[in-house]
Structure 1
């Protein structure tokens, strides 16, 4: 049995529906390669999923869950973002056979911009994203937002699925 304490992250000053999603350019990683890409270069509506470091159980569970749901076949582009390096992401995508691409944001700057960064306890100046997801339309308007308020916490993927329909 894993023993851990639930941590209240408190409210986040995150993007809300109707806000413009900031554009960014970061390495977009697949299981084969990575290249710098911008959010605005992705086709169609986008579900941008923030997870903690790629090796964390929250990230592993999230990408396994979305793969099992078949969300790689949606008309909406599902893409992740995490503080992990492209090297760690490629290894993760290959080992777990994840059919999605991930943005690498080692400085956590994108999470800061979206209002979902949180400081790690006991580590001055070190932060990572909360579990969060933003549904963004073709004009980069946030259509829906889900942001965790505690760690560990999974997002309500059934609620996200309802919004995707």
Structure 2
């Protein structure tokens, strides 16, 4: 089957793993009505799904947010996105999809680098974005579940994420 694009293997990464404490950071956090600088520590007060995704508008991001909407995870956990997109772009994304989701803006990809989930975009000198990744955190920011893409494009194993959410919130 011709997908119209190449599937590219991504290099191995030393990403944040299950049992580790998710690194704290402060970035603009975009909600449905405004954004403000917030730390991850100030946001995590219960089970939190941290979703790293490519730039807003990328087909992967669209599909990921559509799946978040369809599965209704925001009813069970706090869902927070992270990408290199600006707060303005996040506001547009969240107006269209991701009901109940907030998103951190990480234009320098420094947060993505701290989590070990960067991806250099081929043919675009100096442009690094987040590879798709999902980290389920408990109230202490301990990673309870982690999935990081090892190829591009790739999507989380949504049923496995849902099972991890169910196990954490029971």
Which TM class, normalised by the smaller chain length? over 0.9
CA apart distance, 1:85? 0.2
- Where 1:53 maps in the other structure, the secondary structure is coil
| SS of residue paired to 2:155 | coil
Question: Is the contact between residue 31 and residue 91 of structure 1 (CA under 8 Å) also seen in structure 2?
Answer: no
Match of 1:61 among 57, 60, 63: 63
Residue aligning to 2:48? 46
Q: Which residue of the partner structure matches residue 146 of structure 2?
A: 145
Contact kept? 2:53, 2:81, Cα under 8 Å = yes
Q: How many residues align?
A: 164
Any conservation in 2 of the 1:64–1:98 contact (CA below 8 Å)? no
Q: How does 1:16-165 map to 2 (within 5 A)?
A: 16-42=17-43, 43-74=45-76, 76-96=77-97, 98-165=99-166
SS of 2:65 mapped into structure 1: helix
What is the distance in 1 between the residues matched to 2:101 and 2:41?
Answer: 17
Inter-CA distance 138–96: structure 2 relative to 1 (3 Å threshold): closer
Flag the 1:19–1:57 CA change in 2: closer, same or farther, 3 A.
same
**SS of aligned partner of 2:136:** strand
Normalised by the length of structure 1, the TM-score is: 0.94
Q: How far off its partner does 1:123 sit? A: 2.1
Shift, 1:138, TM fit: 1.4
Structure 2 length normalisation: TM-score? Answer: 0.92
Q: Distance in 2 between the 1:4 and 1:97 partners? A: 26
Deviations 1:116-150 (A, max 9, x none): 00111122221001100111111121111100000
> Are the equivalent residues in 1 in contact too, given 2:117–2:130 (CA < 8 A)?
yes
Structure 2, unpaired ranges of 5+: none
